[in-house]
Amino acid sequence: MQQALRIGIAGLGTVGAAVLTLLERRAEALAARCGRKLAPVAVAAKTRKPRRIDVSRLAWFDDPAKLAASPEIDVFVELIGGADGPALRCVETALSSGKSVVTANKALLAKHGMRLAELAEKNGVALGFEASVAGGIPVVKCLRESLPGNTVTRVCGILNGTCNYILSRMEIEHLPVAECLADAQRLGYAEADPAFDIGGEDTAHKLAILTALAFGTRIDPDCIAIEGIKDLSLADIEAASELGYRIKLLGVAERTAAGIEQRVHPTMVPRSSAIAQVMGVANAVTINADAVHELTLIGPGAGGMPTASAVVADIADIARGLRAPPFGLPVAALASLPRAPIQMHEGGYYIRLSVYDRPGAAAAIAARMAERAISLESIVQRRRPGERGKPAAVPVVLITHATYEKLIREALAAVVGDGFIAEPPQVIRIERE
């Protein structure tokens, strides 16, 4: 048996502790699979506080950068988090020192992935990041290693468990976003500052990574159109249910005639679809390709053990000597294809308007839609009492046939300018089977 693979882990939070637990629990099985022992030898963390795991036998580093440079490790596992700062400095140090790196840090990869991949290639080491997207779901390995005979046309998924939990609770228990978010924080599903989750940025980081893997392109997170779930209301959730849909926050990347379109936004999906059945904190990723047609991977998108499972899978690959280019192709071979703006997205739309109950309002809205050849599939109006001293505002829901988002936005801007709308319009894209 080969010499043991010496592992240094920076970050002893929930995931770091779970990685150590898995490496100990599966030590014999991992050694048999890899032909060598996977041996944690050192750790780094902010404090030496008591922990649920015993780290007394491991070398302790107060400075994770010193651990990354230590000649006593072969693999550096970065579980610190953050796009810059210590995480970036440590990963750069480890790769430059000829050590392979495993990370769960999607923000780091979305911002610096190309430079880090080049550094790994230059030094002949591995950069593993299975845990950075969709927790325990092996979607990175699937795209990078399992589909070379396919041309991928689309990747779409639920990539944030916090948002999926909130949307599930809103539908099932008829609770507002704020209350569901507070419960998610109490249960540990959401951070104290949940802005990245509910604002869509976390999903965008993960989508940027999947896009590079799926289409052989350079990571370009700035070209992702992002909408979160913070402005969704119970009225939208209930309307979706009545229409036969569920609302999910999706990350979508697809090949179009104008380039690679990347978008994150709430989406109405048919209740009969596989992705609509994914509830709670679970994640799902659907890959459309020419040979396999459609693959859907569903599983735990976060949590200590699922994420640790993905980290250990990358460590095991390194122990076996696997050295695939981090993004499937050498960085020099990754294309800088044009990104198609979301304005060119074609599909149906749900539009909720709060319309002043005045003569001519409905006709003006219909005229603005007709001016841009937007065909309406249905119009639903529900009357509610108006506030005293103010014109009554009536909720009106429009469902369009397939059209371009650019036209929808232009029509709604004109409707707002006409002065018939009491609140900003709510627009949700519809994905039909």
Range of weakest confidence among 187-191, 208-212, 317-321 = 187-191
Q: Helices in 320-404 by DSSP H: which ranges?
A: 361-371
Which spans in 302-399 are helix H? 304-319, 361-371
Non-local CB neighbours of 115 within 8 Å, separated by 6+ positions: none
Alpha helices in 217-373 (DSSP H): 234-242, 304-319, 361-371
pLDDT value of position 254: 93
Q: What mean pLDDT value characterizes the chain? A: 91
Q: Please give the backbone phi and psi of residue 386, each rounded to the nearest 5 degrees, phi first.
A: -85, 160
DSSP alpha helix (H) spans, 104-160: 106-122, 139-141
What's the pLDDT band for 194 if we cut at 50, 70, 90? Answer: confident
pLDDT at 106: 95
Q: Report the Cα 261 to chain-centroid distance in Å.
A: 15
Instruction: Give the mean pLDDT of 212-236.
Output: 92
- Reported as a pLDDT band with limits 50, 70 and 90, residue 156 is very high
CATH 3.30.70.260 residue spans of the chain? 345-430
Cα 117 to Cα 122, 128, 141, 166, 415: the distances in Å are: 9, 10, 16, 35, 48
Q: What percent of the chain has pLDDT over 90?
A: 71
pLDDT at 309 over 50: yes
Residue 166's pLDDT band, with cuts at 50, 70 and 90, is very high
The structure tokens listed for 24 are 């100990």
CB atoms within 10 A of CB 126: 21
- Taking the CA atoms of 34, 37, 41 and 45 in sequence, report the sign of the dihedral they define: positive
- Residues 252-275, mean pLDDT to the nearest whole number: 92
Least confident of 37-51, 140-154, 224-238, 385-399: 385-399
Residue 385 has pLDDT above 50, yes or no: no
**Region(s) of the chain under CATH 3.40.50.720:** 5-132
CA 175 to chain centre: 24
- Cα distance between residue 219 and residue 151, in whole Å: 18
Please give the CATH number for the structural domain made up of 143-301+334-342.
3.30.360.10
Summarised one tens digit per residue, pLDDT across range 14-34 is 899 999 999 999 999 999 999
How far apart are the C-alpha atoms of 108 and 312, rounded to whole Å? 19
Lowest mean pLDDT among 48-52, 181-185, 342-346: 342-346
SS3 for 340? coil
Tokens representing 79 are 């579980």
Q: How far is CA 201 from CA 23, 130, 269, 308, 342, in A?
A: 32, 19, 21, 23, 16
Q: Answer positive or negative: Cα dihedral of 428, 287, 111, 108.
A: positive
Q: What percent of the chain has pLDDT over 70?
A: 96
Q: Return the higher-pLDDT residue of 124 and 387.
A: 124
Locate CATH 3.30.360.10 in the chain.
Answer: 143-301+334-342
pLDDT in tens, 67-107: 999 999 999 999 999 999 999 999 999 999 999 999 999 99
| pLDDT beyond 70 at 160 | yes
Q: Residues 346, 347, 350, 353: what is their CA dihedral angle, to the nearest 10 degrees?
A: 30
Mean pLDDT confidence for 373-396? 72
CATH superfamily of 5-132: NAD(P)-binding Rossmann-like Domain (3.40.50.720)
Pick one of 3.90.870.10, 3.30.70.260, 3.30.365.10, 3.40.190.10 as the CATH number of 345-430.
3.30.70.260
DSSP readout, 73-90? -SEEEE----SSHHHHHH
User: Could you give the dihedral angle defined by the CA atoms of residues 156, 161, 163 and 164, in that order, rounded to the nearest 10 degrees?
Assistant: 70
Q: Is the pLDDT of residue 391 over 70?
A: no
> Looking at 132-146, 181-195, 262-276, which range is the least confident one?
181-195
- Enumerate helices (H) and strands (E) in the chain, giving the number of each: 14, 17
Place of tokens 């040979």: 291
Q: Which two structure tokens, joined as six digits, stand for 125? A: 């080491």
Q: Which residues are designated catalytic?
A: 206
Under DSSP, is residue 46 helix (H, G, I), strand (E, B) or coil? coil
Residue predicted with more confidence, 227 or 48: 227
Return the bridge partners of 42, or none.
Answer: 8, 59
Give the Cα separation of 430 and 381 in Å (integer): 19
Positive or negative, the CA dihedral 110, 116, 121, 127 is negative
Q: How far is Cα 360 from Cα 353, in angstroms, rounded to an integer? A: 15
Beta bridge partners, 353, equal 396
Contact (Cβ atoms closer than 8 angstroms) between residue 137 and residue 299: yes
pLDDT greater than 70 at residue 345: no
Beta bridge partners of 285: 157, 297
- Per the DSSP assignment, residues forming a β-bridge with 265 are 250
Nearest-angstrom CA–CA distance, 359 and 311: 62
Rounded to an integer, what distance in angstroms lies between the CA atom of residue 226 and that of residue 151?
A: 26
CA distances from 32 to 27, 38, 93 (A): 9, 10, 31
The Cβ of residue 386 has, within 10 Å, a number of other Cβ atoms equal to 14
